[in-house]
Structure 1
Amino acid sequence: MNHIVAQIDESDYQIYSDFLNISLDGQFLDEYLEVLYPGEAYKGTIPTLLFSMEIEAESEVVWRRILPELNAKTVCPILMCPDDRDFSCTIVVAEIECLNDTIVWHKMGLDISQNHQPEFIGSSVRWFEKVPSFQFSTLDYLAMINAFKIQFENDKAEWIAREQMIQ
């Protein structure tokens, strides 16, 4: 069984703050992909579970797909470009299945969908051949999601407070 956790990561770019990232078996997901596919610009991509997504409808797709119904599969956007923070740029997806006490990421890949409407994300994917499947305990997976939910709500509250101060 693999281990998944949400963990604070230091940004690779000075213009961005540190952020909550996905760690798989002790390695941040973006760094793991960069090792397997050097030069493909996966290092520095950030989780789509963050509040910083630019388009609310896209964020809703992510949160709806990150935990499929029991015995169902989804293709969920999991990493995005930190510059655009939407589905228009680099989007890494995972095919996720929910089993009784296990969550399986069967495969990961780069979204190449031509239709950039939120619901079409993941409809066309160039799957990564070097990335194996990952199996997580449902408890670990839910703890990871919960950590992102808490961070999402904290970041949202800070954003609202800043907006109110400006007005």
Structure 2
Amino acid sequence: MHHRIHAAYHQAKFSRSRCAWLFIDDVPIEEWLNNHLEYPDLDLNGLSLMWLLDEEEDALAQRRFAPAEDGTSTPVPLLVCGDDMDFDCFVLMTEQVIDGETLHWRRFGLSVSSGLEVGITTRWDAENRSISFPLAEFREALEDFYRLMKACEK
């Protein structure tokens, strides 16, 4: 079963204003993950593609989110601590796998490594909670996200 993913404006709980955001099945990503994973208060965390204070960490998040080649696996930082907005605090990771025309988030866990090594060492959940998206829809959601983000900056 494929889930839907798209980009739109959203005001996260920790934010003072609306900004570009990703949604899964029409629910903001942090709220969707909070409802489907067993981590407390995920809905208080921020999307790693937004507001990372370190430019190198920001670039790393964008590179890891971008779908790689078919048959590859990439550790992707999804959510970060809304107070710190960096990779040195809480970072929820997913293993992003490309399988033909489908992008899977195979498993979730917490990064044990920090900074530019985020996700290199990850404490993966014992329970596998994979979710899948049509690859073309995921790419379109990322393109829309970056377009909305640029519009916010003006």
- TM tier, smaller: 0.7 to 0.9
| CA deviation profile, 1:91-131 (whole Å, cap 9, x unmatched) | 11110012321111111121122xx231x110122223456
Alpha-carbon distance, 1:65 to partner: 1.1
Larger Rg: 1
Correspondence for 1:11: 12
2:103 is the counterpart of 1:103: yes
Q: 1:121 aligns with which of 118, 123, 126?
A: 118
Three-state SS of the structure 1 residue aligned to 2:23 is strand
Q: Count matched residues.
A: 151
Which structure is higher in RCO with an 8 Å CA cutoff and minimum separation 6?
Answer: 2
Aligned runs of 1:156-167 on 2, under 5 Å?
Answer: 157-158=153-154
Q: Give the aligned residue type for 1:111.
A: S
Correspondence for 2:56: 57
Q: Distance in 1 between matches of 2:108 and 2:27?
A: 16
**Structure 1 stretches lacking a partner, 5+ long:** 159-167
Q: Give the aligned residue type for 1:45.
A: N
RMSD, aligned α-carbons = 2.0
Q: Distance in 1 between matches of 2:87 and 2:18?
A: 21
Correspondence for 1:82: 82
For the 8 Å contact 1:96–1:106, the answer to whether it is kept is yes
Q: Distance in 2 between matches of 1:128 and 1:31?
A: 19
Q: Distance in 2 between matches of 1:131 and 1:84?
A: 28
Normalised by the size of structure 1, how large is the TM-score?
0.79
Alpha-carbon distance, 1:44 to partner: 2.1
Q: Distance in 2 between matches of 1:88 and 1:100?
A: 34
2:117 is the counterpart of 1:139: no
For the 8 Å contact 1:55–1:86, the answer to whether it is kept is yes
Alpha-carbon distance, 1:70 to partner: 2.5
Q: Give the aligned residue type for 2:4.
A: H
Identity of aligned residues (%): 23
